[in-house]
Amino acid sequence: MLTLVTGHAGFIGFHVALRLLERGDMVVGFDNVSDHGDLTLKEARLAELADRSGTLPGRYISIEADLTDAAALARCFDRYRFERVIHLAARPGIAFSVAHPDATVAANIVGFANLLEACRVAAVPHLTYASSSSVYGASRRLPYSEHDPADHPLQLYAATKRANELMAHAYSHLYALPTTGLRFFTVYGPWCRPDLALYKFVEAICAGRPVELMDAGRHSRDFTYVDDLVTALVALSDDIARPDPNWRGEAPDAATSSAPWRVLNIGSDRPARVTDYLDAIEAALGQKAIRRDQPRQAADMPDTWADLTEIRSAIGYEPSISLDEGVARFVAWYRSRQ
């Protein structure tokens, strides 16, 4: 199978591309390889993919270009006939979106619009794309269900991800383009971004610096190990979205549609407080953190928890990596790179 993976130099995109290569698929990666974040880490991920792709010509192709460049994207789709598209490129980060709204909109809205149009023209059999648990925003109805409204985002990043879901629905309705949006819940693991809490906490502890805990670490997150997420994502990419025959406009279901469109949570269904997360990091490192409390930011959600009923029904998904094991795997990877 030939799959386009956008954002393959990023944390999740790298793991998805690697999994596809491991099962024998052909992968075309599309990434601008920007200096947003750690460029050295992005280049290391790309080198790892090239190394793992083997010697088969054309099995892995990396294209350095930006999704906001519609012409470059069109050339990519003209050259390759993709059986699947997995869209993971974005300007990630809640804090970044607050500080840089223009760059966030360009990447997350304009880039996604260009990709939808390219998929329409090419009649791609299935587009699977990353949404976010942050779309649930101000809702305090836990666990978060896809069937509930998600219309009160707390920051621009969440708003762009919710907009992606709505844009995808328009294309699914107008052009019968099958689309699946996946709401990721706090993904962590080896090769993760240095601006994520896990990386920052480990780095601070090893350097003897204080760990900054927002809201004293009382808030909880549905921490999702990257291998569990990738297993679900790849399976859902293979499971092409179809219209829901039971959908009715008189009582619209927020999770499905009369079009070939759906949104699904991917989480662990095992929320933990950030202090528990830090405890697991200390245990894996064998070193205590210097803890410093900070006030919670207005853009942060108090708690997250994924209702996994729908994804379990769709593909039999069951996360398998515990928080302690996942953190220990990250620490081992982090030490291997020092």
Catalytic-labelled residue, pool 157, 188, 225, 277: 157
Distance in angstroms (rounded) separating the CA atoms of residues 180 and 239: 9
Distance in angstroms (rounded) separating the CA atoms of residues 258 and 52: 41
Rg (CA), the chain: 19
Q: Do residues 215 and 295 make contact, with C-beta atoms less than 8 angstroms apart?
A: yes
Q: Do residues 3 and 86 make contact, with C-beta atoms less than 8 angstroms apart?
A: yes
Query: H helices of the chain, where?
Result: 11-22, 39-52, 70-79, 94-99, 101-105, 111-122, 156-175, 197-207, 226-238, 274-285, 309-315, 323-336
How many of the other CB atoms lie within 10 Å of CB of 314?
16
Nearest one of 310, 236, 187, 186 to 85, comparing CA atoms: 236
What token pair was written down for 198? 């896990």
For residue 228, what are the CA distances in angstroms to 2, 119, 143, 232, 317? 22, 27, 19, 6, 9
DSSP secondary structure code for residue 184 in this structure: E
The strand pairing partners of 128, in sequence order, are 86, 180
Q: Do residues 208 and 283 make contact, with C-beta atoms less than 8 angstroms apart?
A: no
Whether 157 is catalytic is: yes
Side chain identity at residue 207, one-letter code: A
Catalytic residues: 157
